[in-house]
Amino acid sequence: MDLRYSESDEAFRKELRSWLDSEVPAHGRPPSEHDWPARREYDTAWQRKLYEAGYAGINWPKEFGGRDASLTEQLVYYEEIARANAPYVGVNFVGLLHGGPTLMSEGTPEQREKHIGPIIRGEEVWCQGFSEPSAGSDLAALKTKAELDGDHYVVSGHKIWTSFAQVSDYCELLVRTNPEEKHRGITWLAMPMDLEGIEIRPLPTIVGSSEFSELFLENVRVPVSCRIGKENDGWRVTNVTLSFERGTAFASDIYQLQESLRELTRLAKVLTRDDAVAWEDRTLRRDVGHLAAELDGLWALVKYMVSEAGKTGVPGLTGSCVKLYYTELKQRLGDLSLRLLGRASLSRDDVGGMASETIVYEALQSLSMTIAGGTSQIQRNIISERVLGLPREPR
């Protein structure tokens, strides 16, 4: 597939860039990481602006309110969003980037009608209730149980690392409906977050934010109508969800890494080390060059993945390759940034006119990326077994 930019793509870029140059400064800076109601208002207001301007759901079909942009227009979109330093998708991440697409693929007409419009307009926020403390990286080992009682599932259990739970309207929840089957005993529910029996406990992270929470569920009655897909078919539905999370969900973030590397290079050309400009360090220049080349390669892999999704409607196993490479490369960029900052990296504030607060935040935040959405070890297993066809790991 030809992914070179056409005159039409460049016209779209010009239109989008003009809109972003006007709207991004007007939207202002995001509120504190600790004020989640304000963060919800900020993120959903930006989503409404995107929707009203026709830029929301860039790859979603028009029947669901999206723009249905071509593959090359999607790439232009990700590039321009990163260039303009536009507001991050934030609390809309789960709903927009894999919950909504999962509903489009697996939901009933009634479920699509109920949720997809509110998600894309920024009226409905979702969180993800997949991980459990006792399951570790083995997602299918989850124990949160759901027992059928009339037209409700009665759910009890414990979830962890639930992003944006404190401001969410719905949770994409995995539950065990058949204790005798591991993978074939799981069901996917769209659980309303205002039901009785749900307790949310925020978890502070190393960067000082509290976007993660624990969910404690005790006899929560979830209507059967909230089930996505068939009972005990949740593992297959989950893999559709995760293919979106590991694939196109990171496209804009990956392009943003290129801007972060350019910022690091600019900083290296003004900082001094041992009475010399840091950029004079050959080792530093070599490492920057390697990262730049790898970022170019990663962006080419993103283009391949978007092309793949365009043909099948769902990102393929390439998403695991992208997720693995992106998250580990982000950590190496963080390490290089801290090395450049030197002692200033010990501060959480800007030092000597440098944006060290942001650099340290990004470096620390990158530590979680090789765990979230499936650990690097899990991605390597998927790549070796399903992409390369190597023998399965003994289990």
Token couple for 165: 């739970």
What is the CB-side half-sphere exposure of residue 31 using CA atoms within 13 A? 13
Q: Give the start-end residues of each E strand in 139-211.
A: 145-149, 152-159, 170-176, 186-192, 198-203
Q: Are 244 and 98 in contact (CB under 8 A)?
A: yes
Residue 182: which residues within 8 A CB-CB, separation 6 or more?
140, 141
Rg (C-alpha) for the chain, rounded Å, is: 22
Amino acid at 88: Y
* Other C-beta atoms lying within 10 Å of the C-beta of residue 6: 12
* Other C-beta atoms lying within 10 Å of the C-beta of residue 225: 12
Catalytic residue chosen out of the listed positions 80, 106, 245, 308: 245
Which residue, 279, 395, 275, is CA-closest to 340?
Answer: 279
* Cα distance between residue 395 and residue 42, in whole Å: 46
Length, in residues, of the chain? 395
Q: Are 193 and 121 in contact (CB under 8 A)?
A: no
356-365 and 318-341 helices cross at what angle (nearest 10)?
140
245 classed as catalytic: yes
* Cα distance between residue 101 and residue 93, in whole Å: 12
Tell me the CA distances in angstroms from 256 to 78, 83, 300, one per residue in order.
9, 7, 14
Q: Are 347 and 38 in contact (CB under 8 A)?
A: no
Q: Are 352 and 341 in contact (CB under 8 A)?
A: no
Q: Are 112 and 207 in contact (CB under 8 A)?
A: no
* Cα distance between residue 81 and residue 88, in whole Å: 9
* Cα distance between residue 320 and residue 26, in whole Å: 37
Q: Which residues are designated catalytic?
A: 245
